Structure 1
Amino acid sequence: MRRRARAEGRRPRPPLRTSLLGRLLGVSALVATCSVAATAWLAVQTTSGAIKQEQGQNLADDARIYDTLLGRAATHRDWDGVEDTVRALARSTGRHIVVTTQDRSPLADSAGPGPHGPLPARASATLDPLAVDGTLAAGRSGTDTTPSADRIDARAVGPFRLPATERDRLRALADRTTSCLRSTGIAADVVAGPSGRPHVQTIGTDTGGLAATSCDTSALDAPTATERKALTSLTDLTNSCLSRQGHDRVDLALDLTWRQGQAPSAAPTEPPGRRAAVPVPVPSSTAVEDDRAVASCVGTARREQLTPYVAAPALLFISAPTGGTVPGFDLSPRNTAKIAGVAALVLALTIGASVLAGTRLVRPLHALTGAAQRLRDGRETEPVPVKGDSEIGRLAAAFNDMSAHRARLEAQRKAMVSDVAHELRTPLSTIRGWLEAAQDGLADPDPAFVASLLEEAVQLQHLVDDLQDLAAADAGTLRLHPEPVRAEELLGQVAAAHLVRAEAAGVTLTVDRPARPLPELTADPVRLRQAVANLVSNAVRHTAPGGTVTLRARPGPGGDVLLVEVVDTGSGIPAADLPYVFDRFWRADKSRNRRTGGSGLGLSIVRRLAQAHGGSATATSTEGEGSVFTLRLPLAGPDRPDDETARP
């Protein structure tokens, strides 16, 4: 983008770090950062500890409330009598607890019966032992009540709950096993599960060390009559689900694992303390998909089996007690002083940064305003100092460029008025003088007299025609009639038209013929001859007797342009004057004599005609050796070949 801007002759946009926008953003960001950082530091220092402590306590209390009521739902068929549990939890946690049905009919309220205002729009949790909330369950601690992978609370055992006789029998077996293990030096305890089934829990002993003892631990693994009945019902429900999905039947074990086509035996087939070695096949992708289907059906069957034994899902609402206040910010004298100090510091930074930035921005704008007012009053103004590459610096540079360009235009306008007046005055004065002389009888109106007047009139007509062509080009009314043109023929025609004048000046006029035919050019032949003729006239005028003027044409680089060149061996143009040769009324010879001075409009017309054809006119010269004027014309012609308005 910056390279393209330089190629187009305009200044590229400044980088963000030096631009006005960048500085304003920097100041704003600095102030905002200081303000936010100070506020955040103050808030964190004064409230983070209290907030963390309160949040931790609230989460722990919510998890305990949820766990207690969820256990109540897992072990009871309905919510009757839950009021006492809710009130006890409210007293221990200081929270307001409400339990409702799923349609928000109240079941229990820690505040007692009666209206207590509307409930929150969203419940704190859903009390469903068959679909446990994993977030709240993760905050619980204590006994092993963690939900299984199917989100069923471990305390929801339903028909698997053992009667007292079976519990006592298994407890006696567990106590004997524990005593045996302790006698062998293995620490063991009896732990009762949610269904009442006891388990032997060893401490610091792996499975291999336990199997090496003579203690029989397998007797506790056999299901009781109650468990076999419940397990048979669960297996049937699972197989019904699998059959609907097109899978094979399975046999469930007491730990809810399964085997394909094998029913679990009521007694071990191996000696106590030993297990049969069963090869474990590598599971295939089909087996993995079957296991997922079985696991899904087991979960579905468990919910179907347990639904009659647990309470219906209910909504739990936990909130702060009515009239309670949340600990807020402590506006102690010390904290008030901190707030005032930080606010004063931020205010001082804001004011200081604003004053500094505003002063640096307004100072160059004041300078530009003063310069513009002096320019409006017609007084000469010094260039505005340009500091930096910001937007204001670029504005000052553009203003300086505009001021310099305006000064040049004013100087050119004054010079043009003077030149036009002089050019018109000379032939008009001559004509008037000769006519007054003829009127007074001092001159005879002979052929020489008429020829002199005609020459002055023709000179005056040429000047008017040149001015009219330039005015038409400036107004955009210079129209072309492009058509196919043979450059060799056109150069020959121009050379033939100027041959007599060149011979009279002692200059040799030649046309270089190319070795190969030139490509056809699309151009207005009349206007193109006018441009080349102006170049030839200028070359002949500035070439001393004995010199040569050569016309030639050749293809340009790329093959899509044609170069028409007029080469002379004249006096040449100083390097300092080359940029001005195409300006109006500019002359290399300031003497205005008829041989070398000219009107100063011919080369200006050449440039405008070349531009009208979509091309350009350039000049190179070596002082004392000669000059080369080149017309660079596109072969395809001007951009608007269909413009057929008459020539001025």
Structure 2
Amino acid sequence: MSERVPLHRSLIFRLLAASLTIAAAAVVATAWLATQAASRTIRQQIGQSLTDDKKVYDELLGYAATHSDWSGVSSLITARAAELDRRITLTTEDRRIIADSGAGPALDGVRPSATVDAFSVDAGLTGRTDHIDPRIVGPYRLTAAEQRTMRNQLTGYLDCLHNGGAEGQIVTGAHDRPKVVITRLGKLSDLCELVPPVAKSEERPLAQLRGLVAACAGEKKPDEVSIWPDLNIAIVDPDTSMFDDDRIAKAAGCLDASRRTQLEPYVAPPALLFVTDPADPTAGPVFALSRQNLVRTGTATAVVLALAVLVTVLVGRRLTRPLRALTDAARNPGDHPRVTITSRDEIGYLAAALDELAERREQSERLRQAMVNDVAHELRNPLANIRTWLEAVHDGLATVDGPVLTLLQDQTAQLQHIVDDLRDLAAADAGTLRMHPEATFVNDLVAQVVDAHLPNAVTAGVTLLTDHDGDPEPVVDPVRLRQLIGNLLSNAIRHTPAGGTVTVRTASAAGQLTVVVADTGAGIAPGDLPKVFDRFWRADQSRSRSTGGSGLGLSIARQIAAAHGGDITVRSELGAGTTFTVTLPAG
């Protein structure tokens, strides 16, 4: 049974006391800081939001939409600055001055009030939903006669709408082109027809825009793409004579980018707009706390304090529930259940750590059982062979002659090899793998390893090659390095078919020793590459000994490399071969 914790030492009491202290200090500090910083903060917010300067932004946006550069904007900025009694500065995006209404402090570190970009209109400042300013005319400029003709047609359309009880108005649309916006439908609205006329001045730029959209959307036949002056897109499938909605949607997605490409030469580049105080770019209007504001602040402080007490109690009670669950879980380490706590705080992290600890314990148990099974499997075959031949000799079914002794010796050597590998791995896991580094000529060491494996290579029909870049003499453990290269070389020979080659390359550069063992074998599947250094893992998964080896050589090789402060990487291609690269510090 759990003991009852005294109230003054309980978590909820300590949490409440700490929370009240912190809340009181925070409220007092907040009230004091508010009187000091409110003026500066509000002024900065006003300057950044441009609540009083939307007209400046819109006028500069209109200038950008109708001019290819900012060369004549100074007069506009000077006039608006005089009206607002503010300093208005326009700079490039890298803050080079384009125009400035008056000298003043540098604007380094000052946040711009807005970015004036006719291709990226700030909807919060203009209230419009168009990303591209409709005042951009570019190559679509209509003649005066075309404008009159178009407005006459739209006026007739409006008269028809009015007769049917509908309402609408003529507004300026894309490319400064007049269009009708219907604000209320009437009974006879459908009887009024308006075919958007394409003026002669618009034919060529519309054709160019159609080509840009078609190229962006991957349309093989641009003639099938129709774009109206109001920027509506239509694509008719020639086989069905129906609108192809998918192709239309794809083309519509390319419209803004294509328009930007077409109109960019006619529009001023993006610029940063600063609307600041002439003397201090960061200053603002004073916001003094009156008696009423002080009372309001005090009331808010009391409310915050009361809410802090209430919230602290509620949070404390909620915190005790998962803590109890964690305590119960910790008291049962042998049968640890999963703690379902998903909060992203210290308690949630603690629950996750306990769950992870339980998972690791279960995984360690699974690995231990798998290790025991693997060791038993590896030892079973040689022990069974030795026992069988000894029983045969004992029963008189075989004689102790040369072949039997050779077989028993081979099986015993195989057992010794497995035991030695397991001992090396155990030492590496325990951090007691002994290293005796000394200056070593790696090329001579590689030659010794290659000579030792040459008989096996000749038997397998594999050619051994060496390739040395210089004669490196790093400080390494020659015995362990010989073991590492030998494991890689024997593994490569086993997995290279007759007629193939195994190449050992050495190089030293930038304080690192590199040893590469490459074969021309069948290669390793991409899904198996992460497993090649696992203990007792074999690509055939049959656990047959047709290729020899204990399945520990690559694991030991990686441990030796790690003991030297290096690593081993592998890359392979099916049908082309496998390359192991050892990288060790040369010092």
Which category describes the TM-score, using the shorter chain as reference length?
0.3 to 0.5
The two structures have a TM-score, normalised by structure 1, of 0.43
TM-score scaled by structure 2? 0.47
